[in-house]
Amino acid sequence: MSRVMVAMSGGVDSSVAAALMKEEGHEVVGVTLRLWGGESDSGCCAISDVDDARRVCDALNIEHHVFNMSDEFDHHVVDPYVSSHATGLTPNPCIECNRHIKFDLLHHRVQALGFDRLATGHHARIASQPDGTYRLARAIDSSKDQTYVLYMLDQSKLATLDLPIGDLTKDQVRDLATQLDLRTATKPDSQDVCFITREHGRDDFLRKRIPLTPGRVINTEGIEVGSVEAVEMVTIGQRKGMATAGGTNPRYAINVDVPNATVTVGTPEDLLVESTSVKDCVWANQLTNGPVLVQISAHGKPMKATLKDNTVYWEEPQRRVAPGQAVVFYDNDEVLGGGMAC
């Protein structure tokens, strides 16, 4: 049996993951990361979540420890989130948290402390390949699948990672937690970005950290048709929040120019593109070219495309992907890799 560190957020998924690893006979230690020191109402990163994780570990009779990575979280997740908005990008902080915190810094901590493996409560699976390598694979419960936000996992991470709830539906996870009388059995899933409260929102969070610039809205002919309160808050494809004059047809943001405080709007047809460029690609095993399925949002529908030299050529025209968003490549249900739209 292995010595396993289980990353425990204080939610039901990681609680059941810890229980399953212990049931398999492993030496299990639960670890909760203290990441965001500010206000949180997302069901993640709050003091109450640390307490829930500790109490679950007590119920399972396993050790529980807290690692303070708040400085690293600010550096790798919060600061880049703010600076990305300042330059007109649309960041995904959950992906950056996985990339830098959970599967880099924590992964190194696993090795440094003499653990054999890391386990998490993510809804995903690990698929062994005929050549002895591994790929991340979609969870059984497609409505909860988290492979999109885990696309950065390479062989060095996948080889020592366990995802014990990937073969269970969410209902089955909650049923198991209920059978084990775990306090998290009925706890709601975490929602939204942990460091942005639902009460105050993204606008308030960013205004405290960067100047937000009022901007003008122009159409595809360059004619000014309205205004926007903060150009840094606009993302490609957005319709809401832009005061446009004249016309009854819906208009969507098709370009965001922060330096010139200008948002260009157009029709749904103006949003369509035949290709999307991607940068900073990482691969589960090796670089891929050829036919792939592509997902461009956490729960979006995979779309057929051909990948060649970091450019996605869509089988059918698709809506523009906001720069900064993840573009993830699949072979059926298995993740090949991914990168950032540019």
Tokens of 283: 């691969």
Spans in the chain with pLDDT lower than 50: none
Polymer length of the chain = 342
Q: Are strands 262-266 and 242-244 parallel, antiparallel or unpaired?
A: unpaired
Tokens of 322: 């906001």
HEC assignment per residue over the chain: CCEEEEECCCCHHHHHHHHHHHHCCCEEEEEEEECCCCCCCCCCCCHHHHHHHHHHHHHHCCEEEEEECHHHHHHHHHHHHHHHHHCCCCCCHHHHHHHHHHHHHHHHHHHHCCCCEEECCCCEEEEECCCCCEEEEECCCHHHCCHHHHCCCCHHHHCCEECCCCCCCHHHHHHHHHHCCCCCCCCCCCCCCCCCCCCCHHHHHHHCCCCCCCEEEECCCCCEEEEECCHHHCCCCCCCCEEECCCCCCCEEEEEECCCCEEEEECHHHHEEEEEEEEEEEECCCCCCEEEEEECCCCCCCEEEEEECCEEEEEEEEECCCCCCEEEEEECCEEEEEEEEC
pTM of the model: 0.94
Which tens digits make up the pLDDT trace of 232-253?
A: 999 999 988 766 765 667 889 9
Tokens of 301: 């529908």
Closest by CA to 196, choosing from 322, 54, 38, is 38
Cα separation, 318 vs 341, in Å, equals: 13
Q: State the pLDDT at residue 42.
A: 57
Q: State the pLDDT at residue 197.
A: 85
Q: State the pLDDT at residue 192.
A: 72
Active site residues: 97, 194
Q: Are strands 224-228 and 242-244 parallel, antiparallel or unpaired?
A: antiparallel
Q: State the pLDDT at residue 223.
A: 94
Cα separation, 324 vs 313, in Å, equals: 18
Which tens digits make up the pLDDT trace of 138-160?
A: 999 999 999 999 999 999 999 99
List domains and CATH numbers for the chain.
3-121+164-179 (3.40.50.620), 212-266 (2.30.30), 272-341 (2.40.30.10)
Find the distance separating the first CA and the last CA of the chain, reported in whole Å. Answer: 45
Closest by CA to 53, choosing from 183, 232, 204, is 183
Which tens digits make up the pLDDT trace of 163-182?
A: 999 999 999 999 999 999 99
* Cβ partners under 8 Å of residue 178, min gap 6: 185, 186
Is residue 279 within 8 A of residue 339, CB to CB? The reply is yes
Give Dmax (Cα) for the chain. 69
Q: State the pLDDT at residue 30.
A: 98
Half-sphere exposure of residue 279: CA atoms within 13 angstroms, side-chain side: 5
Tokens of 107: 């992964």
Cα separation, 47 vs 36, in Å, equals: 10
Query: Residue 33: left (phi > 0), alpha (psi -120 to 50), or beta?
Result: beta
Q: State the pLDDT at residue 47.
A: 81
Q: State the pLDDT at residue 240.
A: 85
